[in-house]
Amino acid sequence: MYEFIKGTVDFVGPEYIVIENNGIGYQIATPNPFIYAGKMETMVTVYTYHYVREDINALYGFETREEKKLFTKLLNVSGIGPKGALAILASGEVQQVVTAVENEDESFLVKFPGVGKKTARQMILDLKGKLQDIVPDYFPNLFNADQLELHTQKGNSNLEEAILALKALGYSEKEIKKITPELRKEQMSTDQYIKKALQRLLK
């Protein structure tokens, strides 16, 4: 129904953001809401998916069309609902998920929140060979398992985004520097970095 919503960031919470467009505030659940914390009152484009069931009517939003496409594919997997699909996208990049599915890498897939061996196997059965439209430029040359591991270790943009979000929330450079070395020891999603940082800062 809605391809995307373009507007200003009015609110950022732990589960959703609010985008204001022409006087209407759209509540949109996103994989990592806090990546928008540094964009308050600025114009953004959020690619949306309108999810309607008997007990739920909600908007889910994503930074890119690729994320949105993968979200819709995940919803077709038996045992994965909107919250599960969001958790997977919050913890991994689109390319990582696609590569793991194509390589039948169950050990990588079970690292995602809520994904056990049964769900990982179901993801592979339902999605393998059906994800070309998400990463067509890379599909013929998908990473092997060793390359995937190197890819997950390259850089740490998630941590950088988390630090920006913490600054936007009002924490000082000094406070953030105290906990940064501990955070660098782990590879996590932006949202997970923020949650762990807040746990340390609130002690």
| Cβ 152 vs Cβ 187: under 8 Å | yes
55 and 9 together in one domain: yes
pLDDT of 141 over the 90 cut: no
Mean of pLDDT values over 183-196: 81
116 and 56 together in one domain: no
Question: Could you count the other beta carbons within 10 Å of the beta carbon of residue 72?
Answer: 14
pLDDT digits (tens, 9 = 90+) for 72-111: 999 999 889 999 999 999 888 888 899 899 889 999 999 8
73 and 135 together in one domain: yes
137 and 163 together in one domain: no
| Cβ 152 vs Cβ 99: under 8 Å | no
Sole residue written with tokens 């999810």: 51
CA-closest candidate to residue 99, choices 137, 60, 65, 128: 128
Structural domain containing residue 45:
4-62
Mean of pLDDT values over 174-201: 83
- pLDDT-wise least confident of 26-30, 103-107, 148-152, 155-159: 148-152
pTM comes to 0.68
Determine the Cα–Cα distance for residues 153 and 169; give it in Å rounded to an integer: 27
